[in-house]
Structure 1
Amino acid sequence: MRKTDGLFKLLGLCLLAGILVAGILFPVVGAAGVASNKASETVDSMSAELANVPPPLVTTITDSAGHPIATLYDQYRIPTASAQINPAMKWALVSVEDKRFYDHHGVDWKGTFRAALSNSTGGDTQGASTLTQQYVKNYLINVIYRNDPVGQQKAQEQSVARKLKEARIAIQLETKMDKDQILTSYLNVVEFSRKVYGVGAAAQTYFDTTADKLTVPQAALLAGMVNNPPFYDPWSHPERATERRNLVLDRMVENQKLAPEDAAKFKTEPLGVVPGGPAKPASNCTGAGPENGFFCQYVQDYLLTNGMTKDDLYTGGYTIRTTMDQNAQHQAKISAEAQVHKTQKNVANTLSLVRPGKDRHEVVALAANRDYGPDASQGQTTYALPSDVSNVTGAGSSYKIFTAASALEQHKVGIYSTIQTPQSYASKVFISGRKPGCPQVARGTWAYCLSNYGEDVYGPSMSLQQALATSPNTGFVILEEQAGMGPVLDMARRLGMRTTMASNAANGGAVDPGNSNVAYRMPQQQYFGPGGVAQAGLGAFTLGVSPTSGLEMANVAATIMSGGVWCPPTPVAGVTDRNGKPVKVSEAACEQAVPEGMANSLAVGMSRDDTDGTSRQAAQSAGWTRPMIGKTGTTQDSGSAAFIGAVPQMAGAAMVFRPDNPVGGLCDGAGNVTPCGDGNMFGGKAPARTWFGAMTQIMNGQPVIPLPPSDPAYEH
């Protein structure tokens, strides 16, 4: 090397040293100028973020008894206190990353100047960062900028400016935190590859142990990884990981924290990590398993709808105690599978259960015949079948509840009043497209024609109570004319169909797969009402032809059994934050949806379905004897069917439908339901059997409570 080269390098070192010292000291000596003030403010701001922005933690979801059922997280991290970390882990890290950690005040000047000179003169890139500086960098990358690739890039770029800022923050931290706090904080924030963060999570997922029980070779492996987690991943690169672990053991010997003979022995040991990769729980609702996953999914959907962000939910470290009753959930799952095989293609059987009440409607079970999970070949799905608006072909005649309720509220009829139920009927109020045999109402429009199922099944008239039990189509379309489409639609919304009525009327094309008319993409409240596809609306609404949420139908029954009080179907019993403090969940307020006397009268009107109505056979087969309300429903060609029922303590809705391809029927028989052309499915079959099968077990041992008496104002 020429003398001039050495002289220039020495001058460069002196100049760079001067820049570093001046840059680090200027916040203390109060350097003048706008640039200096802004730089100082930036450092103060970043220091504050390190102090005030907590690292992402795991959110835990439990059942109503507090037993964990799932974890949600973006970074798998188990907070670990200093006393919970084996000293071997701390010394392994210090020995390999910053052996003068306990001597400096945040910056190792000798190493910094050496690295700065090498980088500025084109030599090998060197870090020379202390553990305090590494803590700053890791916090910026893994916490503050975890969702900001540009910020992460800036936090680790090889530049003097970045090093300077990092050094100043490190110095500030050392005035606010002692060495053990810094070391513990570092060990809680650093990544150990594969979304495993912090030594607590690493000890568990790598070695199935806790941080306080880490052995010296285990600690050495983890300490060696922090330099480059993917590069030293013990599953992907075991040879590299072994070589790095052994280097750490040597450094511990050099630092006089390990005897040479012990290091030699530890080097002969295998890595000892759990086979197949980190043993960490699922990061989403698949971790709740095939039985509880649908409930977990609804908890997530509910919180996101009511003000919480997904980022907060997956990083906040909350404990969410749900309203899920484990026994009810299990019985609901068993009953759903008893009617439809879990691997049956294109058939879903769901059961949603809600506890009535005048201050809360708690969801206690959300089950399906299908398992919750990602493996479609095993019949699994992650679609929210029991809670979402998943049944696109409808709940059939169970929607007659809304027509009856609207007519009762307007005193058009009482539960014991006689209504007309002709075998066939042509409505001139609800116009439709041309149909053979239907009279023309006006130029280009025809009457809405319909008939009751079967022949000579119904008489020409009957009481509303009997009609609710036996379900004649014509009687309820006539009632719908008398009540008015607008009030009927509003009644459906008020009693509980909030999300359903706001959803797309076609919801994927079920109403008319080949129609691209914007009318088929309207919310149902508008589609069936004035201004929808027909000037006066569609009379078929009362026959339940539109997409439906099983959970909301269950909540309708809960509203009726709560004296007409609607409450949002909540799956949340309570939420606490990472510090154990209660967190208020934003939920819609309960409403007196309909008068209490009217709701009680409607309950009495619906009380005969299980004794002399369409669900009688299913009720008898289950040995059912309790007072209850019920209503079956079946859509055209038996494409879907439903049963809505409740006792004073529990309300529920069971629905069977085709979730993947909604066109066609369903056939019931031989202990299973299958897709078919001309179906034979009815609400009194698989849906009613599902409801009674679960409810007989759930209600076993609970008191028999009578239905509330009807109000004379709604009887005739």
Structure 2
Amino acid sequence: MRALRAALGKLLTLSMVAGVLSAALFFPVAGGLGLLSNQVVAAVGQTSVELANVDPPAVTTIQDKDGKPLAYLWEQDRVNLRPDQISDAMKAAILAIEDRRFYDHNGVDFQGTVGAGLKGLIKGSIAGGGSTLTQQYVKNFLAFVVSKDVKEGYRKATEQSASRKIKEVRLALDLERRLAESGMSHKQVKEEILTRYLNIVPFLYDIYGVGEAARAYFDTTADKLTVPQAALFAAMVNNPQLYNPYANYEKAKRRRNIVINQMAEQGMLSPNGPEENKRLAEEYRNTEIELAYKARPAARPRGCLNAVDAEGKPDHTYGFFCEYVVDYLKKAGFTDEQLNRGGLTIRTTMDRKAMEAAKEAATNKIPQTRPGVANVMSVIEPGTGRHPVRALVANRDYGLDKQKGERAFDLPTQYVGFGAGSIFKVFVAAAYLQQGGRISDRIPVGETYTSRVYKGNGNAPYTVKNAGTYPAQMTVQDALAQSPNTAFVRMQEKVGLEKAAEMAYKLGLRESMRGINMQGKPLKPDGSNGPSVLDAVVRGNLGTFTLGVTPVSPLELSNVAATIASGGMWCPPTPIEQVTDRDGKPVPVKEASCERAVDEDLANSLAQGLSKDDKPGGTSATAAGAAGWTREILGKTGTTEEYKSSGFLAATPQYAGAVLVFSDSDRPETVCKNGRTCGTSTVNGAFGGDLAAPTWFEAMKKIHEGLREKTFPPAAPRYR
């Protein structure tokens, strides 16, 4: 009796399904059909709109400035193709084995569905086969597009229930109706659905769609797929795991040959009659499955940890730039879904020549495996109406293996907590010029100086001394080149600490002054972890500001040089040339507008004030001489207390850059202390001229190869 009741229940369910399918076939836009709840109907209506208008997830490609791939972002390794980008053999193979009446129905093959239902009843299941390609597209769409969890989505999209089958039928009918109402002919509707189906189906190993499968399995494109190749893919869609040619070669081949036989029976191999079709079928069946890769198909490398060189080979040099691109776009409002599912093309500003030159210089001076010492460099191109970032590198590789010296965080763009040292004297000098000073003014130096304005530890007077011997007086220009501390503390008192800190913000330290706190952490929207660096400097009356003790980003330091070299125009350092969607249409990127930071005459005069750093007596003169440097620069070195960081900010009219060398160990210490050899130098605590400046000159010499020498405009008369 139990068995009889079960059989009667299945028969009743099948009868209901058949009745509903009939109603759905004749009344595809009817309401609830008497069986579906209002919620299911609403879900069907909403999803049918998505089916008609939403493309499945696709690979986002990040490119260098020349359009060569740099990295790929994806959740599903897929490229969406147009109908003309898929071979006729592929289309024929899938129709032959999956839906030979595809062009004769309107989304549901009523005869096939009910027939499959009767077979399923005999086997003990009410949902087994009979689905058209349109229905299969619906099922895959629900699994891989609507659902963000592929496993759960696939389970729901394939569950053995009448409601699931009814929903699938309704959606299939509604999809074909909507496409027809959009103005497509019946043939165009079918071609569109066939293409969408071939774009969405999975082929294992995170590979989806025949476009990626063609590349990953056969190292070809979908428009060049042969009959045996196409037949294998058509065989796999039935059960990718079972017919995986890597794991089950013979089963995959047998199933492939069944597809070839079906193509021959339906006259798809040749228009020259049955005998020619039989002959070709035998020829194709006897071919082996020739896969392009031995171990597994080649899914695209994913994410910034798997960035590639110009030849498409893995190269950890480029991960830092890739990460900056992703972070930049997220701050501009792009979501993870857009980036990882949107099929965007992101052409960046990255110049591989600049990247390679900077990377080589950074590792030459401090090897990657050197424990505890990071050497990072940022390069920007000024004077273009914007500030494109051309290089972001470190002596580290971007990776997870700490034993190899790799780092998987933003070394070239992070906030270095130790500061940039005397590079900050640039801001005090700029504020001095803005208040009427001149680069030729002679200013007092002195071996030590005790301030009446600033306080030291506790409430003691703040006393500063120099690291070398200097004359009693120097011009501002010579002081910038030789960097006496006492002169700039005096100058900071004169211009005012707030004006000096604001000048740092204006010239380029936008986030470093107002976006982070004194620990280098981004400020929370509610300000609970504030104040900002600028506010902390002013409130704390921080006399050491001109000595560069606050956190700073290497990238923003290079942008300071770019602002000065651009005649005082600040622009956001951008890694983006253009973003386009999967259809090639531009996607706007929200970026800050360029603005005048300081008067052009002031900027040009400041550039001249900084032009003697590489000349005899300047702090980078030795490094410039060793590199054989001959071009005009603006430059300034810096070194922090206890030598935990040092740097060099400099620019030519063509390129601006900054190098920071700092302790990046879990227990920060003096860089190269006690006379250790650091790279090519033996130093007792590294100054900016010891490692940072040599890195800059070596890199920039290669970056400038082939460019004619340019000079900065002269200082304006009022600043001379």
Could you tell me the TM-score, scaled by structure 1's length? 0.87
Residues in 1 aligned to 2:471 and 2:154: alpha-carbon distance in whole angstroms? 76
Pick closer, same or farther for the CA change 1:167–1:12 going to 2, 3 Å. Answer: closer
Please list, as runs of the form range in 1=range in 2, the aligned pairs for 1:247-258 lying within 5 A after superposition: 247-249=258-260, 251-252=262-263
Structure 2 counterpart of 1:441: none
Distance in 2 (CA, whole Å) between partners of 1:282 and 1:5 is 51
SS, match of residue 169 in structure 1: helix
Of residues 265, 284, 290, the one that matches 1:272 is 290
Give a deviation string over 1:230-271, Cα, whole Å, max 9, x none.
454433554654554455456556656576776666566554
Amino acid at match of 1:108: D
CA shift, 1:79, in A, is 3.0
Summarize deviations over 1:332-364 as a string: whole Å, max 9, x none: 222222212133222221221112227211222
Match of 2:411 in 1: 385
User: Cα distance 1:9–1:187, how it changes in 2: closer, same or farther (>3 A)?
Assistant: closer
Amino acid at match of 1:581: K
The amino acid across from 1:523 in the alignment is S
Distance in 2, Cα, partners of 1:3 & 1:610: 97
Amino acid at match of 2:53: N
Once residues 594 and 374 of structure 1 are traced to their aligned partners in structure 2, the CA distance between those partners, rounded to angstroms, is 42
1:463 to 469, 475, 478: 475
Q: 1:706 to 1:104 in 2, by over 3 A?
A: closer
Q: Is the 8 A contact 2:21 2:110 kept in 1?
A: no
Question: Given the alignment, which residue of 429, 451, 454 partners 1:430?
Answer: 454
Consecutive unaligned residues in structure 2, runs of 5 or more: 181-187, 270-276, 309-314
Instruction: Trace 1:183-194 onto structure 2 (pairs within 5 A).
Output: 183-194=194-205
1:563 paired residue among 560, 564, 567: 567
Whether 1:665 and 2:656 are equivalent positions in the alignment is no
Structure 2 letter corresponding to 1:282: P
Q: Report the Cα distance in structure 2 between the residues aligned to 1:545 and 1:646, rounded to whole angstroms.
A: 22
Question: Is 2:483 aligned against 1:481?
Answer: no
What CA RMSD, in Å, does the superposition of the two structures yield over aligned residues? 3.3
| 1:86-139 superposed Cα distances (whole Å, 9 cap, x missing partner) | 333233323333344344332132443355567789913524321110101112
1:405 to 426, 430, 436: 430
Amino acid at match of 2:377: L
User: How much does 1:687 deviate?
Assistant: 1.0
What is the correspondence of 1:516-527 to structure 2 with a 5 Å cutoff?
522-527=531-536
- In structure 1, C-alpha distance between the alignment counterparts of 2:678 and 2:528, rounded to whole Å: 37
User: What is the alpha-carbon distance in structure 2 between the residues aligned to residue 78 and residue 366 of structure 1?
Assistant: 29
Q: Which residue is 1:631 aligned to?
A: 636
> How far, CA to CA, are the matches of 2:149 and 2:651 in structure 1?
47
Alignment deviations for residues 274-323 of structure 1 (CA, whole Å, 9 cap, x no partner): 12222233122322323333323222222222222232123333332222
| Counterpart check, 1:345 vs 2:371 | yes
1:416 aligns with 2:440: yes
Partner of 1:439: none
What letter matches 1:450 in structure 2?
A: V
* 1:496-511 map, 5 Å: 496-501=508-513, 502-507=515-520
Q: What CA distance in whole angstroms lies between the structure 2 residues aligned with 1:353 and 1:61?
A: 19
Check whether the contact 1:666–1:673 (CA below 8 A) recurs between aligned residues: no
2:555 to 551, 554, 558: 551
Q: Aligned partners of 1:131, 1:18: CA distance in 2, in Å?
A: 22
Matches within 5 A, 1:230-249: 230-238=241-249, 241-242=252-253, 244-249=255-260
Mark the CA change 1:376 to 1:174 in structure 2 (over 3 Å): closer, same or farther.
Answer: same
Structure 1 contact 639–679 (Cα < 8 Å) conserved:
no
> Which residue of the partner structure matches residue 157 of structure 2?
155
**Change beyond 3 A, Cα 1:525–1:120:** farther
Cα distance in 2 between the residues matched to 1:132 and 1:493 = 59
Q: Which residue of 2 aligns with 1:449?
A: 463
Q: Distance in 2 between matches of 1:595 and 1:552?
A: 20
**Distance change (3 Å), C-alpha of 1:450 and 1:3:** closer
Secondary structure, counterpart of 2:688 in structure 1: coil
> Which has the larger displacement, 72-81 or 332-341?
72-81
**Equivalent position SS for 1:76:** coil
Q: Which residue of structure 1 lines up, in the alignment, with residue 595 of structure 2? A: 591
Q: What is the alpha-carbon distance in structure 2 between the residues aligned to residue 643 and residue 90 of structure 1?
A: 61
Is the alpha carbon distance of 1:34 and 1:469 closer, same or farther for their aligned partners in structure 2, counting shifts above 3 Å? farther
Indicate yes or no: 2:521 matched with 1:495: no
CA contact (8 A) 1:564 1:593 kept: yes
The residue aligned with 1:223 is: 234
Unaligned runs of 5+ in 1: 435-444, 510-517, 531-535
Aligned to 1:529, which of 520, 535, 538?
538
Deviates more, 1:173-182 or 1:294-303: 173-182
- Identical residues among aligned pairs (%): 46
Q: How does 1:42-61 map to 2 (within 5 A)?
A: 42-61=43-62
CA distance in 2, matches of 1:50, 1:519: 46
1:164 positional shift: 1.1
What is the TM-score when the length of structure 2 is the normalising length?
0.86
CA deviation after TM superposition for structure 1 residue 37, in Å = 7.5
Deviation at 1:21, TM superposition (A): 2.6
Local SS of the residue matching 2:672: strand
How has the CA–CA distance of structure 1 residues 469 and 226 changed in structure 2, closer, same or farther, with 3 Å as cutoff?
Answer: same
Q: Equivalents in 2 of 1:98, 1:119: separation in Å?
A: 18
How many residue pairs end up in the alignment? 687
2:322 matches 1:299 = no
Q: Which of 355, 361, 368 is equivalent to 2:381?
A: 355
2:656 maps to which of 651, 656, 665: 651
Instruction: Give the one of 419, 431, 440 matched to 1:394.
Output: 419
Corresponding position of 2:183:
none
- Quick check: 2:79–2:343 contact (8 Å CA) kept in 1? no
Give the structure 2 partner of residue 440 of structure 1.
none
Shift of 1:670: 9.1
Q: Check whether the contact 1:344–1:674 (CA below 8 A) recurs between aligned residues.
A: no
Q: CA deviation at 1:622?
A: 1.8
